[in-house]
Amino acid sequence: MAGCGKSVLAAETVRDYDFLQRCFSGGVHWVSVGKQDKAGLLMKLQNLCTRLDGDESFSQRLPLNIEEAKDRLRLLMLRKHPRSLLILDDVWDPWVLKAFDNQCQILLTTRDKSVTDSVMGPKYVVSVESCLGKEKGLEILSLFVNMKKADLPEQAHSIIKECKGSPLVVSLIGALLRDFPNRWEYYLRQLQNKQFKRIRKSSSYDYEALDEAMSISVEMLREDIKDYYTDLSIFQKDVKVPTKVLCVLWDMETEEVEDILQEFVNKSLLFCDRNGKSFCYHLHDLQVDFLTEKNRSQLQDLHKKIITQFQRYYQPHTLSSDQEDCMYWYSFLAYHMASANMHKELCALMFSLDWIKAKTELVGPAHLIHEFVEYRHILDEKDCAVCENFQEFLSLNGHLLGRQPFPNIVQLGLCEPETSEVYRQAKLQAKQEVDNGRLYLEWINKNIKHLSRLVVRPHTDAVYHACFSANGQRIASCGADKTLQVFKADTGEKLLEIKAHEDEVLCCAFSTDDKFIATCSVDKKVKIWNSMTGELVHTYDEHSEQINCCHFTNTSHHLLLATGASDCLLKLWDLNEKACRNTLFGHTNSVNHCRFSPDDKLLASCSADGTLKFWDVQSANEKKSINVKQFFLSSEEPQEDLEVIVKCCSWSSDASRIMVAAKNKVFLFDVHTSSLLAEIHTGHHSTIQYCDFSPCDILAVVALSHYCVELWNMDSCLKVADCRGHLSWVHCVMFSPDGSSFLTSSDDQTIRLWETKKVCENSVILLKQEIDVAFQENEVMVLAVDNTRRLQFINGKTGQIDYLTEAQASCCCFSPHLQLVAFGGNDGDIQILELLNNRIFQSSTGHKNTVRHLQFTADGKTLISSSDDSTIQVWNWQSEEYVFLQAHQETVKDFRLLKNSRLLSWSFDGTAKVWNITTGRLEKNFVCHQHTVLSCDISSDATKFSSTSADKTAKIWSFECLSPLHELRGHKGCVRCSVFSVDSTLLATGDDNGEIRIWNVSNGELLHLCAPIPVEEGAATHGGWVTDLCFSPDSKMLVSAGGYLKWWNAVTGESSQTFYTNGTNLRKIHVSPDFKTYVTVDNLGILYILRILE
């Protein structure tokens, strides 16, 4: 019962300090939950994680989705706050409780104890009486009026009767009597006469006595403060409002506001919590209902009042995180504007890059994305396209906007399509900041395509599942709006809309003959519908918890339906029978997904217990089990601490293989041997929500938690395509029966259809990372090999691509005047091609293994190459004379040409060598490191060179001395690259931890540490290894490549800008002589030509 004192009782249980020290030495953490949607729950989890990880030792970014937040919370409770108590106050829904379920001690208050059925572990129920007994009610009244219970007047007994046992109502009347102890008869008469008619038309609760008590209490307020209490009608349930918010609303000093609010508190009309030195205030849910109904006609004006006052005090994007009230405004400003019907102001706010920056920097992108969905009907009135621009920007960059240090949102905006309002605002801001010395980059060759064929919005809430009919002509979908929808696959025309269940519908499935559709729900029921008429055929209700999945057999001669639920059970249903045919026991946690094999002999099931199980359909016995959890175990985390939820599975068409998704990995198992055939790691910050095999067995489609859908080639384990467009979590992906298309369904209320061939064709031409770049005046020319074995000549300015020849190339290069190109292959062959006529006219077969590097001499007459065969070949292609440089004991890592026909090479054998390329004579041998020499660079005066190694050191050498001038120590990871400044006074080095150091060349002293390492769940600051570096001509700036690109102030060591590529693992950055143009390729094969904005 509401208002019966559950929260008060929970608070009282933890007031004993000695008890807490003995039992919960890790502390007590209170979360006011209430009725939540997914965005609200995510914010609750984010706030809790932030509180628990105060020093940010676990992560510097907020979790981006509920699953990630749940996992973060589990680790924090386990490692930083063991033996602590988590109090969840006012839990309404089982799915909300499951988000906090992490094997810690939980005390919760709820109106419905069945919410705990969704979680495992021992439970102890303390029933709170729904109403006070007569004697207890009299005792509370006696405390308010400071009298002995026996001395209370006889009216007290009648008042308790009229209060109907509600502690909240008794408190309200008691507070009135404390101020006016002679009004017993008056307040009793007011309650009995019911002169305050029931004002609540619709409420979370049915409580007439509260209306009476609240009305009396409000009527008895002083006239000069009644309007202030009315103002509280606009605040939401379970929200604690800082004093400062009310100071703004009422234009008063803090002390004045606190004096007024204390009067409300004294009369039990308001509740107060201390938050450090300040106070926060909140209403009971019942009081919110009362005020909302009582003042419904005034609500719009009241919301308008708070917006008007806010505008007097603040500009939205100038709110500072150290302000007491900033979190409130960021969370509820849009809500107040929408409620005030201030559509113009709401659009101006939501379509502002400044607001998006300020809000996401504080609370991450999830809440803002939710607001775009919530107020879409308003925002679309202003400009549907602009609304789409901002939603898409937030969705596609959500994984970046949640991290620390916070990315430059203007730079992210510059990567949007030039037609986007986000790009327009970003360009405007960037130009203004460039004038003040800020660095920004334009992505010159960006090519953003929207590949979805059809977008339908059949639901009014999240779409949890969608599936094709067996003939591929219809699509069924279900979701949080409790409906089943059926529409045409080619046009989106709606065929059926059915109010299917009493709660959210989690899954739907067509029967193989397309006659039936099955649905399953949080309401614990399975229903079978006629797919043409929408008539209900069967209802099954034998599961004891929510049903997560359903799937029909693939043949119609004996039609069976399988269902899996949170009660850990699978059930098989024969549609000709009224009861379950078989119940399958074996899982120890929720069953998330199930699929029949193509021949219907086996049923596969996935569970939150970390296993994939196979069941014999005929006998209903468990046949085998694969422990997927074992593939995530590490030495740092014991098995009992690891939670692995196996999300879904999909069979190959011949039933010999099965694909399984868990966390951020996809596994491919041999069904007969249970052996692991392949493993795909989709990315560090994403969780796989769903996966599906194409009918051809080569492609798999995967839905990820950062709103992206990916296509993977399961034979090569390579990503084929990214499908972006959804604006929130993607719950389901599924191929059509013939594989020609696939659908995706999302929290953004949409279902998208994609043409498989179109998606693959638009994404399949990807570049390998071994490219060469030539800069000529304002021109950028790129030579690259793509993954279809074609050699591409790309004009960076126009985007024109000339396909030169097919080439199984491992590397390529331009000649100095761009007349020739050379490319080497995996077989050791090298070929030279004339650009003018696209003709191969010279070939060499001197190497015995893969060619790794090529370079023409300055006159273009000689081509030098290195290979995995440990040799360097010097080839005068005109005279066809060869010189082989052979002395390295292992593979040559790379080489650089020196003056006077000299060459420096370095190798995995730990040495660097100087050669005469005319005679082939080895002139000097530098034993540089005990481990591999990973990079060398040569000073501009050609007197020194640097070397870096896996031994975590770098060294500076003179060409005249075989001993190093300086050994540079301090790196904690493998030192992968180094570069001299143009004036040869500085050396920069980068390592595998993302750290960059700048050294004084003359004395070897460390000048700057450019990237201190706040490691986030194992990821380095630079997003991975630092693989390449380059100084500007004036030595004042440095650009680095790693997980992304970064620009640094070489004088101060501070970061100037970051450019986030779509992929990661950048190998090299090609820089123009004027340091204004940059070219690189990421591990997805995407080419980036960037130019400094001027």
Name the percent of the chain lying above pLDDT 90.
Answer: 50
Residue 890 above 50 pLDDT?
A: yes
- The predicted pLDDT at position 1019 comes to 42
At residue 637 the predicted structure's pLDDT band, cuts being 50, 70 and 90, is low
Of 994 and 551, more confident: 551
DSSP-derived pairing of the beta strands 657-662 and 986-991: unpaired
At residue 1016 the predicted structure's pLDDT band, cuts being 50, 70 and 90, is very low
Q: Which of 221-230, 293-302, 892-901, 1011-1020 has the lowest mean pLDDT?
A: 1011-1020
- The predicted pLDDT at position 1015 comes to 41
Q: What does the pLDDT average to over 395-421? A: 83
At residue 636 the predicted structure's pLDDT band, cuts being 50, 70 and 90, is low
Residue 262 above 50 pLDDT?
A: yes
Q: Which of 159-168, 321-330, 349-358, 687-696 has the lowest mean pLDDT?
A: 159-168
Q: What does the pLDDT average to over 303-325? A: 87
Q: What is the DSSP string of 920-951?
A: --EEEEEE--SS-EEEEEE-TTSSEEEEEETT
Residue 338 above 90 pLDDT?
A: yes
Residue 1053 above 50 pLDDT?
A: yes
CA-wise closest residue to 159 among 180, 177, 179: 177
Side chain identity, residue 900: N
Sign of the dihedral through C-alpha 913, 914, 917, 922: negative
Q: What is the pLDDT of residues 677-718, one digit of tens each?
A: 999 888 656 788 899 999 987 899 999 876 788 899 988 888
CA-wise closest residue to 271 among 257, 281, 262: 281
Q: Which helix (H) or strand (E) holds 211?
A: helix 208-219
Output the CA torsion 631→636→638→643 (10° steps): -60
Mutual orientation of helices 299-313 and 223-231 as an angle, nearest 10°?
90
Of 104 and 691, more confident: 691
- The predicted pLDDT at position 53 comes to 79
Residue 397 above 80 pLDDT?
A: no
- Residue in the block written with tokens 């790309």: 794
- The predicted pLDDT at position 30 comes to 87
Residue 741 above 90 pLDDT?
A: yes
Q: What is the DSSP string of 901-926?
A: TEEEEEETTSEEEEEETTT--EEEEE
Q: Is the pTM of this model over 0.95?
A: no
- The predicted pLDDT at position 399 comes to 64
CA-wise closest residue to 690 among 737, 736, 729, 726: 729
Residue 197 above 60 pLDDT?
A: no
- The predicted pLDDT at position 765 comes to 66
Cis peptide before 405 (omega within 30 of 0): yes
Q: What does the pLDDT average to over 125-134? A: 74
Residue 596 above 70 pLDDT?
A: yes
Residue 85 above 80 pLDDT?
A: yes
Rounded Cα distance, 696 and 347, in Å? 46
At residue 206 the predicted structure's pLDDT band, cuts being 50, 70 and 90, is very low
Residue 103 above 80 pLDDT?
A: no
At residue 1047 the predicted structure's pLDDT band, cuts being 50, 70 and 90, is very high
Rounded Cα distance, 13 and 20, in Å? 9
Rounded Cα distance, 766 and 801, in Å? 13
Q: What does the pLDDT average to over 571-582? A: 92
Of 13 and 198, more confident: 13
- The predicted pLDDT at position 196 comes to 44
At residue 275 the predicted structure's pLDDT band, cuts being 50, 70 and 90, is low
Residue 1065 above 80 pLDDT?
A: yes
- The predicted pLDDT at position 303 comes to 96
Q: Report residue 699 as tokens.
A: 């492609």
Task: Give exposure, 293-327, as e/b (b: 16+ Cβ within 10 Å).
Answer: bbbeeeeeebbbbbbebbeeebebeebeeeebbbb
Q: What is the maximal distance between C-alpha atoms in the chain?
A: 121
Quick check: 523 and 545 in contact, CB under 8 A? Answer: no
The mean of the pLDDT values for the chain is 87
- The predicted pLDDT at position 203 comes to 38
- Residue in the block written with tokens 């030539």: 774
Rounded Cα distance, 345 and 529, in Å? 46
Residue 1013 above 50 pLDDT?
A: no
Residue 334 above 70 pLDDT?
A: yes
Side chain identity, residue 252: M
- The predicted pLDDT at position 129 comes to 66
Rounded Cα distance, 213 and 165, in Å? 12
- Residue in the block written with tokens 């309007």: 227
Rounded Cα distance, 761 and 794, in Å? 19
Distance of CA 959 to the CA centre of its chain: 50
- The predicted pLDDT at position 124 comes to 84
